[in-house]
């Protein structure tokens, strides 16, 4: 129930209440008129209690569109309507039930149509002028003021006053319709008498209406210039007579008392109880008027008030209002409880504020005022370049900090939060140096090779030069350890003139490490992304996400899912860290991710990155990298000069070939560092002034060779083949050994093989059995023998689908007792039809074979397209043979140990012996001197 209404209708439906209400209305209106005259003496207004003058209507009518009355009597022209000029503040001293609402919204229209008034036909007894309203429901017996602005509503009110007839008010279904049609109106409304019509100096039309009876609009007769419809008055059912009358009266009296009690309880729960409304409710004697009065002042949606209005029967209407009151009482009770609690909290807060102000005064007297620090923080917020909405939130937190004592536990956390916010680079940008030649020179200075990566970075710089506001790419560098992924990110930042920041994602298993912790406890802190931006100090750094394939996952959340927003160009503009609580723009950051294995990066995260693969270094590339970068770096780190320490090419090659076996250069740099430290020890001990390390010195410094060429030793017997494998650390070679032993035809697989490799071994055995006759073997080669297949280095797990060709060749070599060419390595999968199927990792495998000294490599024919990825220096030293069937594999595997080279060699020896014999014969024929013969002897 609202507390805004000072007065309410008394007993609106019985005659005595109507008379009293009308008298009160005339008295209050008269007082309003007298106050208005006193306020504005320069104007003359008619008395409020004066009856409207009526004059006979001319035959031609007037320009205001007067409407004839039903009986053809006198009409009142618009100019002669009773008016009262009142101050712009509104109606003063409204009658009982007046609601101080600017009801221009009820009858509002954006434009008033220019309508010419025309004579209208007289209304029938069952017809009524209707006005469409919204935002209010008028009940019978209630008096309300209305501000009218719709042209159609003004014409309707003036016509009703001229014809001295009541007017009907119907509620609109949709409040935002400016020109409602009959279909947009409810069909049950209230007839109302026009108590007063007032025109204010600003041109607004005010009218005071009093509800009379409910009616139902059965048919709309016309819609222009105002609504006229046929109506049916809704009457309440009378109480039963006879024996049931006494019981019905008691029941009705009980309901009336219950409604009054509920209304009084609801009013008592309000912050300020309206005494006049409470008195009107208690003095109301008519049950119907009481029900409508309570419904008028209850805070209900208009649709629910319309439902009460449409309930014409008294008992159901009282039950409906009682139910609404019960719900309202529950809401008001809860509101009062909250109000009491809030008042207690506010009193405590006011006391703390008073004491805090006193403390500030004492601190100021003692010279311990902390205000300058907060003032500096406020100035820093203004200078941080925050967006307007974010600065508003931060200022609000600063205001909290100013009201908070320093001893509070939250004080330090809130201050750290504000310092973090102001230190973030909201608008600080690095100026990009878009010079492609300079960028290329820097990339070449820092890295040898890596042409594909360098080309992509130069492409980005070229696009940024042409379109400065373009989106930054999200690159993902995938390759073995030690190939220069992290250092490449630093080179990119240096080439672009941007700041470089790096975070490691290895082992991260908590989402809050990416998004930050919520500020619900003292130890909260921002996530690693925001911390990295804080360290960078610029809004557009080169941001490296290292080891992205090693992200973890736990019950605390999935960090890879949190990174989706970071790496999505469409979302990272409004990245929201839990600690900050406000969006931060990451769209200007150039993200570079690194990984060793592409398959271990979650699919959605991988989909947001542009993948660039960095492959293993060749032997030649390692030598160049060592000469250009590694030796100089170790010389500097160990305090040596160029004159004091040198490493010749033969020694460097010895280290690369026999002391390291890796895809990158990390172990190579360690070995060079060990050599540099050995030299530094000799120079520091005054044993040498300078030294050039040669090949013969490497064994003394680093010890015996760690990696020897085992190819010839391993393949010296039949049944051993050299295969190629791919690992996360680059390519590698592996030997497959097979042997037969007495048994029952079982197959033994050792070497910690995975499921895929075990299936390849079984497929190779089945293929050998199916081709036993064609290979010149027994039909059942394994009937009484067990087959053992072993892959050395059993501590290392091995799996993959590329060993089928090598397994098949090793088995054929074992059964046919023919040795395989030791200079040959192979890779590829087989099918049971004898086809050689394509595999992956060709570039890494070929580089590993070249590093191991292999000269001939068998590859699936379908992998011929991958030859373009192999470095040219590697291709020149290798013979790549592409095979399509296992028959081609066997032909190449056993090709070199043929008899043709031996026959050719013996023919040469015979020719040489023949030439020597002819020479001796010619010498004998040339002369027979004794001395010559003696010398020959």
Q: Write out the binding residues for ATP.
A: 479-486
Q: How far is residue 140 CA from its own chain's centroid?
A: 56
Could you tell me which residues are beta bridge partners of residue 147? 206
Please check whether residue 83 is in contact with residue 46, taking contact to mean a CB–CB distance below 8 angstroms.
yes
Taking alpha carbons only, the member of 192, 82, 174, 80 closest to residue 129 is 192
Helices (H), 424-484: 436-446, 451-466
Could you tell me which residues are beta bridge partners of residue 476? 593, 611
Q: How far is residue 302 CA from its own chain's centroid?
A: 41
> Binding site: which residues?
479-486
Give the Cα separation of 567 and 595 in Å (integer). Answer: 15
Element (H, E) at 785: strand 785-790
* Cα angle value 49/289/279 (rounded, 5°): 75
Could you tell me which residues are beta bridge partners of residue 523? none
Burial track 720-741 (b if 16+ CB lie within 10 A, e otherwise): bbbbbbbbbbbbbbbbbbbbbe
Long-range contacts at 172-179 (CB < 8 A, ≥ 24 apart): 172/132, 172/133, 172/134, 174/134, 175/134, 175/135, 175/302, 177/134, 178/108, 178/109, 178/110, 179/109
Alpha carbon distances (Å) from 463 to 54, 451, 452, 457: 86, 18, 17, 10
Give the Cα separation of 1 and 628 in Å (integer). Answer: 87
Alpha carbon distances (Å) from 604 to 560, 827, 921: 9, 32, 87
Give the Cα separation of 555 and 577 in Å (integer). Answer: 20
Alpha carbon distances (Å) from 269 to 4, 6, 324: 15, 17, 15
Residue 721 in 3-state DSSP? strand
Give the Cα separation of 724 and 850 in Å (integer). Answer: 11
Give the Cα separation of 627 and 608 in Å (integer). Answer: 38
Tell me the chain's radius of gyration from C-alpha atoms: 51
Cis preceding linkage at 248, omega within 30: no
Element (H, E) at 133: strand 127-133
Give the Cα separation of 182 and 185 in Å (integer). Answer: 6
Burial status of residue 90 (CB atoms within 10 A of its CB: 0-12, 13-18, 19 or more):
middle
Which is the catalytic residue, given 845, 899, 914, 919? Answer: 845
Which is the catalytic residue, given 671, 802, 813, 843? Answer: 802
Q: How many CB atoms lie within 10 A of CB 237?
A: 9
Could you tell me which residues are beta bridge partners of residue 856? 824, 879
Please check whether residue 239 is in contact with residue 287, taking contact to mean a CB–CB distance below 8 angstroms.
no
Burial status of residue 836 (CB atoms within 10 A of its CB: 0-12, 13-18, 19 or more):
buried
For 261, phi then psi, to 5°, come to -65, -45
Q: Which residue has 């309707």 as its token pair?
A: 156
Annotation says 802 is catalytic? yes
Please check whether residue 822 is in contact with residue 590, taking contact to mean a CB–CB distance below 8 angstroms.
no
Strand bridging mode 856-860 / 824-826: parallel
Annotation says 284 is catalytic? no
Give the Cα separation of 800 and 803 in Å (integer). Answer: 7
Task: List the catalytic residues.
Answer: 802, 845
């Amino acid at each position: 129930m609202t507390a805004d209404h000072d007065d309410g209708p008394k007993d609106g439906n019985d005659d005595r209440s109507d008379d009293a209400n009308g008298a009160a209305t005339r008295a209050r209106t008269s007082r309003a008129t007298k106050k208005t005259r006193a306020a504005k003496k320069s104007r003359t207004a008619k008395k409020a209690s004066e009856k409207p003058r009526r004059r006979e209507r001319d035959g031609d009518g007037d320009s205001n569109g007067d409407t004839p009355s039903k009986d053809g009597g006198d009409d009142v022209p618009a100019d002669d309507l009773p008016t009262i000029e009142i101050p712009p503040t509104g109606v003063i001293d409204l009658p009982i039930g007046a609601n101080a609402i600017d009801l221009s919204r009820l009858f509002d229209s954006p434009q008033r149509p220019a309508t010419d008034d025309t004579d209208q036909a007289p209304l029938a007894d069952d017809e009524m002028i209707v006005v469409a309203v919204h935002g209010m429901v008028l009940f019978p017996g209630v008096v309300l003021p209305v501000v009218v602005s719709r042209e159609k509503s003004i014409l309707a009110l003036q016509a009703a006053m001229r014809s001295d007839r009541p007017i009907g008010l119907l509620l609109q279904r949709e409040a935002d319709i400016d020109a409602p049609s009959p279909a947009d109106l409810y069909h049950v409304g209230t007839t109302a008498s026009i108590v007063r019509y007032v025109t204010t100096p600003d041109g607004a039309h005010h009218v005071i209406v009093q509800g009379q009876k409910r009616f139902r609009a059965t048919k709309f007769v016309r819609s222009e210039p105002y609504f006229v419809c046929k109506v049916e008055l809704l009457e309440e059912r009378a109480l039963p007579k006879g024996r049931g009358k006494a019981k019905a009266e008691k029941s009705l009296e009980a309901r009336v008392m219950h409604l009054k009690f509920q209304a009084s309880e609801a009013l008592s729960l309000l912050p300020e109880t309206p005494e006049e409304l409470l008195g009107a409710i208690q003095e109301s004697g008519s049950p119907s008027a009481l029900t409508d009065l309570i419904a008028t002042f209850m805070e209900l949606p208009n649709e629910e008030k319309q439902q009460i209005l449409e309930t014409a029967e008294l008992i159901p209407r009282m039950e409906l209002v009682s139910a609404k009151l019960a719900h309202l009482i529950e809401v008001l009770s809860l509101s009062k409880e909250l109000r009491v609690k809030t008042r207690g909290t506010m009193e405590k807060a006011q006391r703390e504020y008073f004491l805090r102000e006193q403390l500030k005064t004492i601190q100021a007297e003692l010279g311990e005022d902390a205000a300058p620090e907060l003032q500096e923080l406020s100035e820093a917020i203004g200078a941080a370049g925050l967006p307007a909405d974010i600065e508003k939130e931060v200022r609000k937190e600063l205001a909290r900090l100013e009201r908070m004592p320093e001893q509070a536990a939250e004080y330090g956390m809130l201050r750290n939060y504000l310092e973090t916010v102001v230190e973030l680079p909201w608008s600080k940008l690095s100026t990009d140096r878009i010079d492609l030649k300079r960028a290329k020179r820097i990339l070449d200075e820092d890295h040898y090779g890596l042409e594909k990566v360098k080309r992509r970075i130069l492409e980005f710089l070229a696009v940024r030069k042409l379109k400065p506001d373009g989106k930054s790419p999200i690159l993902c560098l995938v390759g073995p350890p030690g190939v220069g992924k992290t250092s490449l990110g630093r080179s990119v930042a240096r080439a672009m003139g941007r700041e470089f920041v790096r975070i490691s994602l290895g082992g991260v298993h908590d989402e809050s490490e990416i998004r930050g912790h919520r500020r619900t406890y003292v130890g909260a802190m921002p996530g690693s992304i925001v911390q990295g931006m804080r360290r960078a100090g610029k809004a557009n750094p080169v941001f490296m996400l290292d080891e992205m394939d090693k992200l973890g996952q736990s019950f605390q959340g999935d960090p890879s899912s949190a990174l989706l927003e970071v790496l999505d160009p469409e979302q990272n503009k409004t990245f929201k860290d839990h600690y900050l609580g406000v969006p931060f723009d990451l769209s200007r950051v150039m993200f570079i991710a690194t990984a060793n294995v592409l398959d271990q990066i979650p699919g959605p995260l991988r989909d947001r990155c542009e993948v660039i693969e960095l492959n293993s270094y060749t032997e030649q590339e390692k030598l160049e990298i060592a000469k250009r970068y590694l030796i100089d770096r170790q010389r500097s780190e160990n305090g040596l000069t160029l004159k004091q320490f040198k490493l010749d090419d033969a020694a460097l090659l010895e280290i690369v070939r026999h002391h390291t076996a890796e895809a990158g250069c990390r172990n190579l740099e360690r070995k060079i560092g060990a050599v540099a430290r050995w030299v530094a020890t000799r120079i520091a001990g005054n044993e040498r002034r300078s030294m050039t390390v040669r090949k013969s010195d490497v064994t003394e410094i680093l010890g015996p060779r760690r990696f020897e060429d085992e190819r010839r030793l391993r393949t010296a017997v039949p049944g051993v083949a050299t295969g190629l494998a791919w690992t996360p650390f680059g390519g590698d070679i592996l030997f497959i050994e097979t042997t037969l032993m007495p048994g029952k035809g079982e197959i033994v697989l050792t070497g910690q093989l995975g499921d895929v490799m075990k299936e390849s071994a079984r497929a190779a055995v089945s293929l050998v059995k199916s081709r036993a006759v064609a290979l010149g073997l027994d039909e059942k080669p394994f009937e009484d023998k067990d087959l053992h297949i072993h892959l050395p280095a059993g501590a290392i797990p091995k799996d993959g689908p590329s060993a089928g060709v090598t397994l098949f060749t090793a088995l054929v070599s074992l059964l046919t007792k023919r040795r395989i060419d030791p200079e040959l390595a192979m890779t590829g999968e087989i099918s049971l039809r004898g086809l050689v199927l394509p595999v992956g990792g060709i570039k890494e495998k070929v580089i590993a074979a070249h590093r191991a000294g292999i000269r001939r490599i068998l590859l699936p024919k379908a992998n011929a397209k991958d030859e373009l990825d192999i470095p040219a220096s590697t291709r020149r030293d290798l013979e790549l043979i592409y095979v399509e069937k296992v028959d081609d594999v066997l032909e190449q595997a056993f090709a070199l140990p043929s008899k043709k080279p031996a026959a050719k060699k013996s023919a040469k020896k015979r020719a040489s012996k023949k030439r020597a014999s002819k020479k001796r014969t010619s010498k004998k024929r040339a002369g027979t001197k004794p001395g010559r013969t003696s010398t020959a002897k």
